[in-house]
Amino acid sequence: MTRRVVAQGTFDLIHPGHVHYLSEAAAMGDELHVIVARRENVTHKEPPVLPDRQRRDVVDALGVVTEAHLGHREDIFVPIERIDPDLIVLGHDQHHDADGIRDALAARGIECEVERASARDPRYAGELLSTGRIVERILDARADE
């Protein structure tokens, strides 16, 4: 039996933290499906700079990803129902409440485990593991030019 895993996120600028998260999620099953949030649904932080389809295409090109999907415009659980995962892996620092997700899945009759991925510590001085920090570094560097 195939164990299907779902990971999700914004993935505006792919960085080593994303690679760690997706690699860890992929190791938990046989297939890794990634749901890429639509720009209009990103309300907990600055919206992504890159278009939805471009972010989906970049995630889909990663070797550990079986298939990347765009999130649903109105209901975040629609792609989960379609993919029918055995496990949802949340990023270590994602704002989602794991128990709230479990409750919502149960209310919809979706039997699925929910776990959190581990954090990836920087491996060298100056390594950035945050899209926001990468954008800040770019803006700072360009402001000095």
Q: What is the total count of domains within the chain?
A: 1
Binding site residue list: 10-11, 15-18, 93
CATH of the domain at 59: 3.40.50.620
- The H-assigned helical ranges of 61-97 are 78-83
56: CB partners within 8 A, 6+ apart: 36, 68, 69, 70
3-state secondary structure of 82: helix
Digit-coded pLDDT (tens) for 42-51: 888 888 999 9
Binding site residue list for ATP: 10-11, 15-18, 93
- What does the pLDDT profile of the chain (145 residues) look like in tens digits? 899 999 999 999 999 999 999 999 999 999 999 999 999 998 888 889 999 999 999 999 999 999 999 999 999 899 999 999 999 999 998 888 999 999 999 999 999 999 999 999 899 998 999 888 899 999 998 987 6
Q: Provide the domain limits for residue 99.
A: 4-143
